[in-house]
Amino acid sequence: MRNCYLGVDIGSISTKGVIIDEENNIITSCYIWTEGNPVKAVRNLIRNIKEEIPEDCVIKGIGTTGSARKLIGLMLKANIVKNEITAHAVGTLTFYPNVRTILEIGGQDSKIILIRNGIITNYAMNTLCAAGTGSFLSSQAKRLGLDVNEFGKYALKSKNPVKIAARCTVFAESDLVHKAQVGYPKEDIVAGLCKSIVLNYLNNVGKGKKIEAPIIFQGGVSKNEGVVKYFKEVLNEDIIVDKNSHLMGAIGIAVLARKNKVGKTYSLELSNVKFDTKAMECTRCSNNCELLKIYRNNELVDSWGSKCGKY
């Protein structure tokens, strides 16, 4: 029998899962949309993964990361729950031990991680605005009548990208519509949008950061060839895009689950597990805290939101 480890990265847009073995080889992986329901998404993810797991695999550890990591960690009884900065860094260092800069653009957030001698020395995440993220690109592709998977290839056709103000989603959309209405070629508009995403990222998330090679680009947007092209052009450096770049957070938390194993075997059978969340307002004191109670098979396993500690 082979000891294997599950890593789950639950984001606002997508949910990723990987199974690795003791040597960090990827046994299987799955990438699905979260669709605003992380619990349902993880149920679907686990069902898909179970169909691909070899019979000799035994799950000896589960790790969760991403925006819903605590919730899903309770659901899966994970042996480790970590933030996505740590997970992405660990996943990347596992395969690229000399990496110095990680650029990551996901569905609704983006981040930069600086690493020196295998240690995180600095990082930053985007502000509240989602300009330049995957969801923003997807909406603009739809506006232009393009499939988001073809967006990057379309940008490569351009010889003269137009300037798009992408610091704000509202201004970017307004600028994009104006450029289209006055007759700019579609490929120049798409290329301009890809370039503006790079400039916005570097001027916002990367502001004041010393970006040094080797540089690795991760997240769903790393699959966009147009954005990769302009990162190379603006930084004047080679940009590494791993074939599993969109899974690196899940890989990292799976590696941490392996390192943090507790000697037990985990079941991926969730069909008999009832997992509920219930919101309530506590009126025991003047704080009027909004509480979230977590139930597993009708048993209260945790509650969040209490300021005074009564829950």
Q: What are the structural domains of the chain?
A: 2-90+250-259 (3.30.420.40), 98-241 (3.30.420.40), 275-304 (no CATH)
Please state the rounded mean pLDDT for residues 284-295. Answer: 80
pLDDT of residue 57: 92
pTM over 0.85: yes
Question: What average pLDDT does the chain have?
Answer: 86
| CA 81 distance to own-chain centroid | 15
Please state the rounded mean pLDDT for residues 237-261. Answer: 94
Q: What is the pLDDT of residues 277-289, one digit of tens each?
A: 888 887 778 778 7
Report the candidate in 254, 218, 216 with the shortest Cα–Cα distance to residue 235. Answer: 216
Q: What is the DSSP letter of 163?
A: P
Q: Is the pLDDT of residue 73 over 60?
A: yes
> 66-80, 149-163, 261-275: which range is least confident on average?
149-163
Q: Is the pLDDT of residue 92 over 90?
A: yes
Helices 134-143, 186-204: crossing angle, 10 deg rounding: 160
Report the amino acid identity of residue 251: I
Q: What is the DSSP letter of 150?
A: G
Assess whether the previous peptide bond of 185 is cis (omega < 30° from 0). no
Neighbours of 97 (CB within 10 A): 11
Q: Helix or strand or coil: residue 28? A: strand
Q: What per-residue string of b and e applies to 51-65 under the rule 16 or more CB within 10 Å gives b?
A: eebeeebebbbbbbb
Q: What is the pLDDT of residues 137-185, one digit of tens each?
A: 777 777 777 777 777 777 888 888 888 776 666 666 777 777 777 777 8
